[in-house]
A = this chain, B = another copy of it.
Amino acid sequence: MKFKLENKDQHSKARAGEIQTDHGLIQTPIFMPVGTAGSVKAVHQRELTYDVKAQIILGNTYHLYLRPGLEVLEKAGGLHKFMGWSSPILTDSGGYQVFSLEGNRKIKEEGVVFKSHIDGSKHHFTPESVMDIQRTIGADIIMAFDECTPFPCDWSYAKNSMHLTHRWLKRCIDQFDNTSGKYGYSQSLFPIVQGSTFKDLRMDAARFVSDQDREGNAIGGLSVGEPAEMMYEMTDLVTDILPEDKPRYLMGVGTPANILEGIALGIDMFDCVMPTRNARNGMLFTSEGIINIRNERWKMDFSPLDSGFDSHVSNFYSKAYLRHLTISKEMLAAQIASIHNLSFYLWLVTQAREHIQAGDFTTWKNAMVEKVSRRL
């Protein structure tokens, strides 16, 4: 994997770059649609490429490990081949999902014991096993096994948790460096900066993570309920420390405004379930603002969902039609809204990239944040 930093904004920390992987190029800043269990919900692979224009997608290790399971994935030749996706894939470590299984998991020094949400069966994730699992899934970028602290969380819990994450990181690195990819292409390991909402811990963690000198770095444990300003403050601190010549990934973020602010703070990669999950609930992110498509207001509005950018579904289907489908519980509603929202997110980061290159990112960003945050 190679990262090339191409442009830096003069009035913010925004950057434009390129990540070269064995499955192709990723132009940053980038948003990664979430494909939990080997499918970006309600979206065909062909639509991901040609409509959404996704350059990289994310898979969830926890879900893929449980279903279809490693035997199937390995026999298929990895997740790319299994699902028919030939562009890059990033997998999370499963940590976040496992820690969300409150009451059904135990954290120890060795790792985490948890019960499957599917059948209650007992499983064990360790830093080592999680590296092996991600080797088998075969993602291009794999994430270190970390503890994601909840919000709020007290300083001493956050501090101990951060140290556990760092000890686990060392074990992840050992295991990763002593194994190799199973399918003939290379994989990269990204460590994760934790530290909750505490400045001193975030700075310690950022330094520790930077010192590992991996091919990219991530910021975890944000967008978990804290105010947006706090998320921006932590991100700002951390990106001041993380090396400039490596991609930076802000995990699980966020709204269109969050992403634009994250880019301004020097973030290159984002993922979030929001565009797809909210789509399934009838919420559209558009170039004019946020739409609740169930609203009576759209009943007779035969204008396109969003004519602000080039996207087949957004230009082809009307608000009145999507409202009808949503209210009638037709599956096509979720399909249309998911493609639309993802297309919008990808359009937004591509626009950000162009404005960074053109040198007017900050002005554009400030106007855009306001526009995309409006509720229509």
Which residues of A are interface residues toward B (Cβ below 8 A)?
37-39, 41-46, 63, 67-68, 71-72, 75-76, 81-84, 299-300, 302, 312-313, 316-318, 320-321, 324-325, 327-328, 330-332, 334-336
Q: How far is the CA of A334 from the CA of B76 in the complex (A)?
A: 22
- What is the CA–CA distance of A187 and B199 in the complex, to the nearest angstrom? 71
Other A-B contacts than A37-B324, A46-B312, 8 sampled, CB-CB below 8 A, are A37-B328, A38-B325, A44-B313, A68-B320, A68-B328, A81-B302, A82-B324, A331-B334
Q: Are A321 and B42 also in contact (CB < 8 A) when A75-B300, A302-B76, A328-B67 are?
A: no
Contact A45 B316, CB 8 Å, known A39-B332, A72-B299, A328-B67: yes
Give A330 to B59 CA distance when docked, in angstroms. Answer: 14
Determine if B76 and A332 form an interchain contact, defined as CB atoms under 8 angstroms apart: no
Q: Copy number in this complex?
A: 2
Q: How many angstroms from the CA of A99 to the CA of B328 in the assembled complex? A: 21
For residue A313, which residues in chain B have a CB less than 8 angstroms away from its CB?
A: 44
Alpha-carbon distance between A348 and B174 when the two chains are bound, in angstroms: 57
Q: How far is the CA of A67 from the CA of B83 in the complex (A)?
A: 36
B332 adjacent to A72 (CB under 8 Å)? no
Chain B residues with CB under 8 Å of A327's CB are: 67
- Residues of B near A76 (CB, < 8 A) are 302, 318, 320-321
| Residues of chain B within 8 A of A71, CB atoms compared | 300
- Separation in Å of the A177 CB from the closest CB of chain B? 31
Q: Shortest distance in angstroms between A159's beta carbon and chain B's nearest beta carbon?
A: 38
A82 to B300 Cα, complex, angstroms = 10
The 9 closest A-B pairs by CB, nearest first: A68-B324, A39-B332, A42-B331, A39-B330, A37-B328, A67-B328, A75-B300, A41-B331, A76-B302
In angstroms, Cα B317 to Cα A76, docked, is: 12
A102 → B minimal CB distance (Å): 22
Q: Are A325 and B39 in contact (CB under 8 A)?
A: yes
- Can you list 5 residue pairs at the A/B interface with Cβ under 8 Å? A38-B324, A44-B336, A76-B302, A82-B320, A84-B316
CB contact under 8 A between A335 and B84, given known A72-B299, A320-B72: no
> What CA separation (Å) do A298 and B318 show in the bound complex?
39
Chain B residue numbers with a CB within 8 Å of A44 are 313, 332, 335-336
Flag if B84 contacts A332 (CB, 8 Å): no
Query: Which residues in B have their C-beta under 8 angstroms from that of A331?
Result: 39, 41-42, 331, 334-335
Q: Do A321 and B83 have beta carbons less than 8 Å apart?
A: yes
Contacts of A330 in B (CB 8 A): 37-39, 41
Min CB distance, A273 to chain B, in Å?
14
Residues of B within 8 A of A45 (CB): 316
B38–A72 contact, CB under 8 A? no
